[in-house]
Structure 1
Amino acid sequence: MLTRRAALLGAALAGAATWAVAGSYDDFFTAILRDDPDTITALLRRGFDPNTRDAKGQVGLVIALKEESHKAFAALMAARNTQVEARNAQDESPLMMAAIKGNEDAVKQLIARDADVNKTGWTPLHYAASGGTEQHLRIAVLLLENHAYIDAASPNGTTPLMMAAQYGSSDIVKLLLAEGADPTLKNRLGLTAVNFAQRVSRAEAAAQIAAAIRKRQPNAGAW
């Protein structure tokens, strides 16, 4: 009889523990979406793993940045065991998400925690170069100051300059060229940064890049 009662008690405790974990899981991601730092902090103090992934493989830091839940992001960053290099299913890092969102403060915090500025594949600089705001420009400057490789190639050979040519501001194009980006590079489809600008009718960006290419060419008739 005692053995059976012990077994029943053990099963009940296990069920309660499973329910508690499931409840904490839902509460955690709901708190991120609601930008509720108090609930996040309470869960982390009880031992909840801040690196837990949701059903789509997204980690809390990336979700907080994507949803612009700034207080939730701060609560997650306050946890020492939060992994700032945890990637989502698309291989996006928190630093990449902060860059595309133009969140300069988050970029600074992540770099201070040794987030990888030069991850392989798509990089934070690609994402920063895709933005058109003053914040994106400042983030691009910050990444370059922290040794971001200016001609980083994505899996299809696209460079940050190409992204800036099609999506970013003229100021970012100007910055990348001034800092030494190679305007002659081609991606795997044979497209240059000029082509990226031309296919969306960005005449100013195309002209900037074409001028940079001409500067690289030796003067005709030079001895």
Structure 2
Amino acid sequence: MTQVSSQDPRSQGAQTPGAGALSDFTQAQVEALFVNAAREGEADLLSSFLDAGMDPNLRAEKGYTPLILASYNDHKEAVSTLLMRGALPDLQDEKGATALAGVAFKGFMPIAHMLLEAGAKVDVPNAVGRTPLMFAVMFGRDDMAKLLLKAGASPTCRDGEGLNALDLAQRQGNAALVALIKEQNAGQG
């Protein structure tokens, strides 16, 4: 007979006969493995976890969801898997950021397209009032800003400092983006 130490994960979780390899782990350990699979972009492993009943909208540390982590780390296949399996694109982390805000900051265009096609809202502000469009402007992601504007992002939303996307583009000295935002703004008025 094998002795199981108190440090061994098997001693902390239920040993359900026939439940497979995951029965050797606690729920917290299984959730950590699931979240890590999203962070690392392991789409096949994510599918296995989802097949076993994991919630695609699980909240991890700092409120991160698997979709936020996969998106932020540019894992297209993992993002696709999560969206097809019920991940909600507009869930926010503890600072109010959505998956779209993360990819707007990083400039990951293919994932932005995927999130928008899945119904992500373009103007969800974070805790300080910044929208994905503002992040795209602030970090010089002109193509992303164009995509978000085309998808209906409002250039008039203001953050906690009272700034909007046009103000931010002007601060950056980005004349092309300033012109584009002014054109978009005129079209909405």
TM-score using structure 2 length: 0.77
> Displacement of 1:217 after TM fit?
3.2
Q: Measured at CA, do residues 159 and 175 of structure 1 come closer, stay the same or move farther in structure 2, by a change above 3 Å? A: same
Contact 1:122–1:153 (Cα < 8 Å) also in 2:
yes
Contact 1:59–1:86 (Cα < 8 Å) also in 2:
no
Contact 1:53–1:59 (Cα < 8 Å) also in 2:
yes
> Displacement of 1:167 after TM fit?
2.5
Query: Match of 1:34?
Result: none
The answer for unaligned runs of 5 or more in structure 2 is: 14-19
Query: Match of 1:179?
Result: 151
Query: Match of 1:103?
Result: 75
Q: Helix, strand or coil for the counterpart of 1:78?
A: helix
Q: Helix, strand or coil for the counterpart of 2:106?
A: coil
Q: Helix, strand or coil for the counterpart of 1:171?
A: helix
% identity of equivalent residues: 30
Query: Match of 1:216?
Result: 185
Confirm whether residue 130 of structure 1 aligns to residue 105 of structure 2. yes
> Displacement of 1:53 after TM fit?
4.8
Q: Helix, strand or coil for the counterpart of 2:144?
A: helix
> Displacement of 1:84 after TM fit?
1.8
> Displacement of 1:59 after TM fit?
2.6
> Displacement of 1:188 after TM fit?
1.1
Number of residue pairs the alignment of both structures matches? 177
Q: CA RMSD in A?
A: 3.2
Is the radius of gyration larger for structure 1 or structure 2?
1
Separation in 2 of the partners of 1:196 and 1:216? Answer: 14
Confirm whether residue 16 of structure 1 aligns to residue 8 of structure 2. no
Q: Measured at CA, do residues 153 and 161 of structure 1 come closer, stay the same or move farther in structure 2, by a change above 3 Å? A: same
Separation in 1 of the partners of 2:184 and 2:140? Answer: 22
Q: Measured at CA, do residues 194 and 61 of structure 1 come closer, stay the same or move farther in structure 2, by a change above 3 Å? A: farther
Contact 1:84–1:115 (Cα < 8 Å) also in 2:
yes
Q: Helix, strand or coil for the counterpart of 2:61?
A: coil
Q: Measured at CA, do residues 168 and 43 of structure 1 come closer, stay the same or move farther in structure 2, by a change above 3 Å? A: farther
Which amino acid is 1:122 matched to? A
> Displacement of 1:64 after TM fit?
3.1
> Displacement of 1:216 after TM fit?
2.9
Separation in 2 of the partners of 1:104 and 1:69? Answer: 8
> Displacement of 1:104 after TM fit?
0.9
Query: Match of 2:44?
Result: 74
Contact 1:53–1:60 (Cα < 8 Å) also in 2:
yes
